[in-house]
Amino acid sequence: MRLRELAEKLECRLVGDGEIDVRGLAPFDEAEDGDLTFVAHPRYLLKLEASRASAVILKEGVSASSKPTLLARDPYLAFVRALHLFYPPERPAPGVHPSAIVGPGVRLADGVSIGPLSCIEEGVVIGPRSAVGPQVYIGRGSSMGADCRVYPQVTIREGVEIGDRVILHSGAVIGSDGFGYLRDRSGARVKIPQVGRVILEDDVEIGANVAIDRATLGTTRLKRGTKIDNLVQIAHNVTVGEDTVIAAQTGISGSTKIGNRVTLAGQVGIVDHVTIGDDVTIGAQAGVINDLPPGMAFWDTPAVPHFEAKRNIAGLHRLPLLLKSLQSIESRLKALEEAFRERWEGALRPEPSPEGKSH
């Protein structure tokens, strides 16, 4: 693609030779001849000049290069848009592969593809241009909107509702039973039937090997635009708000409510039945055992405001010194007590040195 053409499509101002051919995209330190790159921060401009990239996206009004340049308000965003142009998502050809098993009453809209060896149960509804498969399972009565992408070996159990433009990565399980038991009088565990559903709203993305349990009764819901990384656990009856981001291996226990625009780092754990406010950020490996108010950052187990966590950790790291300092204080105090006692025997109040009494 000509650089001039790219400038038009990305709505960037072109500086320099627009006739050069852009053959690929790369970070500036890996770029080869023919590549377009980008630099978001002026500190990399010198390295850019040494790079083999043929053209660059730079920030409007801030930076300049000897290379042919596209000027953008947000160079990284423009680069990402260029990636979308160069690597349009692969869409399997529409149609149902003959090896797929499709139950009665399944409704497939225009442009839907069902890959090899997938199993689509009775009554499933799939919206326009959604691509499912291969080796995917979709349970009875589940539905999916338009333009979804379901990668190989996803399991969607029965009664799951999925919006538009949802992406599900391989190994994800949507709608497995919640983890709930009662003990009867003999002490044996009775399984609580898990008969609720899961709703994934528009623009949700779910990572590889994620598990999202169906509600006991009612709904486990992930709202519009929420993105879930690999190996995350979402328990029964959880609600996750809009535009929330949950990093890998985090676990959210039953009935907990996560707000909008929340960021959970990796390996965070949140107990059941708590509420996390909007715009909260929780640091990696934190363990949340209480409601958290909106707009703040938290860390540590149990989670406390981030600055407190850092102060506590700094305190912990100073503990060995503190113990030494305490010993030194104690011996100085003892010396002073003894010196004082030498001068005035018995002058000290009896406690805390009981020997004082006998003097």
Residues numbered 139-178 forming contacts with its own copies, rule: CB under 8 A:
139-140, 151-153, 155, 157-158, 167, 169-171, 173, 176-177
Among the listed residues 236, 273, 306, 317, the single catalytic one is 236
DSSP H/E element including 41? none
| Terminal Cα distance for the chain, rounded | 99
Minimal distance in Å, beta carbon 25 to its own copies?
7
Does 332 interact with its own copies (rule: CB under 8 A)? yes
Nearer to its own copies by C-beta: 87 or 293? 87
Note if 169 is an active site residue. no
Residue length, the chain? Answer: 359
Binding segment toward its own copies, per CB under 8 A, in 2-10, 42-50, 56-64, 129-137 = 129-137
Minimal distance in Å, beta carbon 326 to its own copies?
6
Question: Of the candidates 301, 345, 357, 359, which one interacts with its own copies according to CB under 8 A?
Answer: 301
Minimal distance in Å, beta carbon 337 to its own copies?
6
Question: Is residue 158 classed as helix, strand or coil in its secondary structure?
Answer: coil
Question: Is residue 70 classed as helix, strand or coil in its secondary structure?
Answer: strand
- Provide the 8-state DSSP code for 192: P
Interface with its own copies (CB under 8 A), residue total: 124
Alpha-carbon distance of 317 to 296, in angstroms, equals: 25
Cβ atoms of 196 and 219 closer than 8 Å? yes
Cis previous bond, 134, omega within 30: yes
Alpha-carbon distance of 240 to 329, in angstroms, equals: 52
Does 113 interact with its own copies (rule: CB under 8 A)? no
- Provide the 8-state DSSP code for 178: P
Applying the rule CB under 8 A, the residues between 44 and 83 that interact with its own copies are 73-74, 76-77, 80-81, 83
Instruction: Report the 10 Å Cβ neighbour count for 220.
Output: 29
Minimal distance in Å, beta carbon 292 to its own copies?
16
Instruction: Report the 10 Å Cβ neighbour count for 16.
Output: 15
Question: Of the candidates 33, 110, 344, 358, which one interacts with its own copies according to CB under 8 A?
Answer: 344
Nearer to its own copies by C-beta: 64 or 333? 333
Binding segment toward its own copies, per CB under 8 A, in 1-9, 12-20, 58-66, 227-235 = 227-235
Which active-site residues does the annotation give? 236
